[in-house]
Structure 1
C-alpha cells in the first residue's frame, strides 16, 4: 500500500488496537493471477513466542479455502472510518480529498485442525459475547449443534509477516484547517464522518 510519510503508522500497540476495534476484515488470495476475497470477522492473536496470527473461518462451500495453503502470501485488509473532506473547509484554496484509516497485513495461510478451529471459535465467541447479559459462549452450546456446524466451516490462520498501516487524517494540514475539518465532520449527517472526526481528535489529543 502506498503510504506518504505523513500518514504512516508503525507503533505496534497502536496498530494492534486498531485491528481489535475494526476486526471485520477482508482476506485476499490469488488463483491463476485472479484475486479472490472474503469478508469475515477475524481474530488477532499472539502466541507464547510473541508471534502474531490472524485466525478466522470460512464456509466449506467457499472455494477460497482450497487455495489457501498453495498461496504464496495472503493479504488481510482492515478498514476504519473514512469520509470525504471538502476543500471548502480549508483557509486557502485547495482540492478536496478523502480521509481514512486502513491496515494491510501480509502472511502465509495455514488450515487449522479441528482442535485449533474449536479454540479459535471459542476465543471469537468470548470476544463478542462475554460482556453481554446472557452470553452465548462455546461451553453453553450443545455438542450436537457444534458438531453439525463444524462440518460446514474451515478454519485458518495467517502468520503475520508484514504490516502496513495508514492513517490519512489531515496530519499535513495546519492547525486551523485541522480543527475546522474536525468541526465540519461533526456537522455531517453520516455516522462515519463523525467517527472519523473522533479519530482525528484522538490523534490531536495524543500530540
Structure 2
C-alpha cells in the first residue's frame, strides 16, 4: 500500500502486538479473475521452524477456497482505530484529514489437513474463551458437533512482507495537545484510541 515516509511504522514488535489485538482481518486473493475478500480471524502464530505465519479457516460454502493454491500469494488486511481530524484544531490553516492505523500482510498460502485445521480451531477457541464468564472448550463438545470442521478449509499464510501505516498527525506536532484534547471529547472508541496512540507516540 502507499505509505508516506512519516507514517511508515517498521517497529515489528509493535506491529505484531497490533496483529494479535486486531486479528479480525480480510483475506484477499483472486477468484475468477477478480479480487475476493473474506472477513475472518487471522491469527498471528509461529510455525515449527520459528517463522511467523497467519492461521485461519473459511467455510467450504465460500467459493474463495477453490482458488487457494499452495504457494500462491495472498493479501491480508487488518484495520485498527481511525478518527476524523478537523483542521480547526490546528494553529495554521490546513485541510482536515483522517488518522488511522492499518497493516497489510503479504504471504504464500498453504491449505491445512483436517487434523491441522482442528488443532488450529482448538487454539482459536481457547484464546477467545479464556476471558468468558463460562468458557467452553472444544474438548467438551460432542463428536457430532465437532464434525462441523469438515465444513471448513483451514490454511496458513507464510508471511513474506508486512506494511504498516500509523497516521497519527506526525506532520502536526505543534498541534498534538489540541488534537488529543479534541479527540478525547468525542464519545466514539476510534477517537479515544487514536488520541491515546498520539499521546503514546509523543511520550
Determine which of 177, 201, 204 is the counterpart of 2:202. Answer: 204
CA–CA distance in structure 2, aligned partners of residues 165 and 154 of structure 1: 28
Residue 47 of structure 2 corresponds to 47
Aligned 1:69-148 pairs, distance under 5 A: 69=69, 72-147=72-147
1:84 and 1:98 in contact (8 A); partners too: yes
Number of positions where the alignment pairs a residue of Structure 1 with one of Structure 2 = 203
CA–CA distance in structure 2, aligned partners of residues 62 and 153 of structure 1: 9
1:130, CA displacement in angstroms?
A: 1.5
Residue 21 of structure 1 corresponds to 21
Residue 167 of structure 1 corresponds to 166
CA–CA distance in structure 1, aligned partners of residues 131 and 188 of structure 2: 28
CA–CA distance in structure 2, aligned partners of residues 134 and 37 of structure 1: 33
SS in 1 for 2:171: coil
1:164, CA displacement in angstroms?
A: 0.4
1:31, CA displacement in angstroms?
A: 2.8
1:132, CA displacement in angstroms?
A: 2.4
Q: Which runs of 5+ in 1 are unaligned?
A: none
CA–CA distance in structure 2, aligned partners of residues 12 and 138 of structure 1: 33
The alignment status of 1:193 with 2:191, answered yes or no, reads yes
Deviates more, 1:84-93 or 1:62-71: 62-71
Q: Could you list the per-position Cα deviations for residues 147-171 of structure 1 after superposition, in whole angstroms to 9, with x for gaps in the alignment? A: 1x11221111111011101100011
CA–CA distance in structure 2, aligned partners of residues 159 and 190 of structure 1: 35
CA–CA distance in structure 1, aligned partners of residues 69 and 79 of structure 2: 25
2:70 and 2:111 in contact (8 A); partners too: no
Q: Which runs of 5+ in 2 are unaligned?
A: none
CA–CA distance in structure 2, aligned partners of residues 139 and 20 of structure 1: 24
CA–CA distance in structure 1, aligned partners of residues 35 and 153 of structure 2: 20
Residue 153 of structure 1 corresponds to 152
> TM-score, length-normalised on structure 2?
0.95
> TM-score, length-normalised on structure 1?
0.93
SS in 1 for 2:110: strand
